[in-house]
């Protein structure tokens, strides 16, 4: 019986179809395991990412950023000036004498040619009347001598002496008339009586004793002394901004005149800026801040000055924000820049940054190069 079973077993051999079925089953199991392995890898990567993010959150510093943008940039030089007018004079008498009367009051507006003051001229008028009588007599004598001389009667010397006395007396009359005319003081231009200095009855002397001050502020200008080093940047027609702090008033104008003389004592030259004054709010000697446009860039990259740092060598840099695509994080990059001109807490970037770059705004003192950061907000 045993022999019979052994022979039967030896005669058994699996078919080809059964082998293929087993192979297929094994492949299916392999694929299932492979998929399971891939899923496990993904789960591990997700867990690692969460761990990395947790670690990055621990390492990151919260900051705010600002975006680099381009805009027209006008740079201005600032100087101090004062309001001036060419029609601001102290009136003095042209001749000596006693002040007879002042015909105007302080603050009064007068027109050009108005009689504003007068000196005593009674003595001069008396002298004038006496001299006119004398001149008339000399004229009569001269005319008689002339008629005789024309008839060849009398001497030539007597004729010439009479003529000379008459003509001299006439000239003396004209001189006294001119002196009497100068005892009357007239307004040289239209304006306000800013101050009355002399009193009625005062003894006045030409060029020494003032009578009053006459001011016209319809036409005023701003005058300033500019250091010599700026002479190449300041031209006639340059735009200016004017600020009168005492009035909290602002004006825009242009330079109307640039001086051609360098003052040796302080190496400066003068400029003038004409300015209308219809409301008469601008007064002579008011202090004015003058901002002169010396540079314009139509597409300047500007950043806040506070965002610019310096290294130990004095080289300027900013921290630019870089996105790490692999780890999905933000990092800082120390970026050296070339600076231009500054104005109103902003500074021009000549090179090193591009438009729309993000740079650190707040939190600069807490970060370093290649620092992981979180952006709270941007400006």
315: domain CATH number is: 2.40.420.20
Domain edge (last residue) among 271, 297, 323: 297
Q: Which domain holds residue 371?
A: 60-73+298-378
**Has residue 169 been placed in a domain?**
yes
Residue ranges of the alpha helices (H) in 183-246? none
194 and 168 together in one domain? yes
Phi, psi of 54 (to 5 degrees): -65, -45
Contact 264/213 with Cβ under 8 angstroms?
Answer: no
198 and 283 together in one domain? no
276 and 310 together in one domain? no
Q: Per-block average pLDDT, block size 10, for the chain (379 residues)?
A: 42 59 76 77 61 54 92 92 94 93 94 94 86 90 86 84 90 89 93 94 93 93 95 90 92 94 95 91 94 92 94 94 86 95 92 94 89 81
**Has residue 223 been placed in a domain?**
yes
Domain edge (last residue) among 264, 297, 330: 297
- Total tally of structural domains belonging to the chain: 3
Domain edge (last residue) among 188, 213, 238: 213
110 and 166 together in one domain? yes
272 and 329 together in one domain? no
pTM across the whole model: 0.60
DSSP for 252-272, please give it.
Answer: EEE--EE-S--BTTTTEEEEE
343 and 325 together in one domain? yes
Contact 98/197 with Cβ under 8 angstroms?
Answer: no
Q: Which pLDDT value is given to residue 29? A: 78
107 and 208 together in one domain? yes
**Has residue 29 been placed in a domain?**
no
200 and 249 together in one domain? no
């Amino acid at each position: 019986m045993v022999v019979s079973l052994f022979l039967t077993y030896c005669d058994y051999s699996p078919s080809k179809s059964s082998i293929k079925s087993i192979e297929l089953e094994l492949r299916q199991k392999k694929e299932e395991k492979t998929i399971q392995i891939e899923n496990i890898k993904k789960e591990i990567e997700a867990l690692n990412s969460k761990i990395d993010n947790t670690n990055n959150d621990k390492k990151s510093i919260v900051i705010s950023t600002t975006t680099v943008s381009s805009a027209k940039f006008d740079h201005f030089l600032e100087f101090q000036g004062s309001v001036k007018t060419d029609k601001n004079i102290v009136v003095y008498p042209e001749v000596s004498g006693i002040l007879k009367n002042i015909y105007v009051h302080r603050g009064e507006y007068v027109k050009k040619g108005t009689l504003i003051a007068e000196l005593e001229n009674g003595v001069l008028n008396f002298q004038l009347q006496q001299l006119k009588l004398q001149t008339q007599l000399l004229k009569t004598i001269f005319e008689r001598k002339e008629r005789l001389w024309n008839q060849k009667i009398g001497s030539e010397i007597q004729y010439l002496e009479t003529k000379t006395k008459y003509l001299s007396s006439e000239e003396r009359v004209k001189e006294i008339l001119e002196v009497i005319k100068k005892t009357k003081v007239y307004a040289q231009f239209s304006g306000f009586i800013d101050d009355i200095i002399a009193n009625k009855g005062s003894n006045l002397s030409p060029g020494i004793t003032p009578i009053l001050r006459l001011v016209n502020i319809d036409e005023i200008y701003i005058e300033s002394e500019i250091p010599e080093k700026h002479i190449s940047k300041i031209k006639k027609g340059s735009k200016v901004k004017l600020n009168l702090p005492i009035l909290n008033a602002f004006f825009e104008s242009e330079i109307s005149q640039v001086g051609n003389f360098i003052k040796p004592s302080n190496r400066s030259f003068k400029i003038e800026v004409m300015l209308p004054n219809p409301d008469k709010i601008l007064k002579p000697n008011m202090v004015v801040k003058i901002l002169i446009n010396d540079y314009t860039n139509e597409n300047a990259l500007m950043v806040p000055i506070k965002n610019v740092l310096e290294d130990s060598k004095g080289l300027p840099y900013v921290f630019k924000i870089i996105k790490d695509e692999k780890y999905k994080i933000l990092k800082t990059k120390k970026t050296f820049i070339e600076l231009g001109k500054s104005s109103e807490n902003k500074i021009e970037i000549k090179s090193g940054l591009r438009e729309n770059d993000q740079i650190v705004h707040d939190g600069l003192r807490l970060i370093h190069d290649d620092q992981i950061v979180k952006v709270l907000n941007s400006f």
